[in-house]
Amino acid sequence: MKQLLTTLVIFAIGSVLFISCSNTANESGTNTASSKDTKSDFDLAAARKTIDSTNAVFSGLVTKQDSVGLAAMYTSDAKLMGANMAAASGRAAIQSAFAGLFAAYGPVELKLTTVDVWGNNEMIAEEGTTAMTLKGKEIDRGKYIVLWKMEDGKWKLFRDCFNSDLPLAAPPK
């Protein structure tokens, strides 16, 4: 019991040191000439929440098959780097690509799950997984890296590279 108490106390001390460390970094960060560019005062956890809710909006637009709304979630200079298609550059091409996907797949549902995020106010890199269903049946599952950039005060998709976990039906030749 005594040992457990000691352990807890030392954990507490460790935590205080860690928190104090973070605070020190933050305080120093705000004194720099370009504090907004330091990672120390960027709230990645808050950005992740924004990305989570943005991904929920994205999935909703997929359900509605709203290619115009989806294209607007990308930056004006974005690239949709989809699997088994050439990259679609810019909103018009991205809208067209989504319209084509909806025509090919039908009324799909897309679930996006963020695995991790890294970055700062300049750019966020997100790793995630996808699950696509059609009338409740899984038709694809996969993964992606999205690079997010702030445009017009919103985090938007700047690069969106994804692929399927499922093997090809036949070996590629």
Q: Quick one: 87 exposed, middle or buried, by C-beta within 10 A (0-12, 13-18, 19+)?
A: middle
Give the shortest CB-73-to-a second copy separation in angstroms: 18
Return the residues of window 53-82 that contact a second copy according to CB under 8 A.
79, 81-82
Instruction: Report whether 112 contacts 58 (CB < 8 A).
Output: yes
The binder of a second copy chosen from 51, 78, 104, 133 (CB under 8 A): 104
Return the residues of window 124-143 that contact a second copy according to CB under 8 A.
125, 127, 139-140, 143
How far is the C-alpha of 112 from the C-alpha of 142, rounded, in Å?
10
Instruction: Report whether 157 contacts 148 (CB < 8 A).
Output: yes
Helices (H), 31-109: 44-63, 67-71, 91-105
The binder of a second copy chosen from 57, 68, 85, 92 (CB under 8 A): 85
Return the residues of window 143-172 that contact a second copy according to CB under 8 A.
143-145, 147, 159, 161-172
Residue 84 contacts a second copy per CB under 8 A:
yes
Residue 87 contacts a second copy per CB under 8 A:
yes
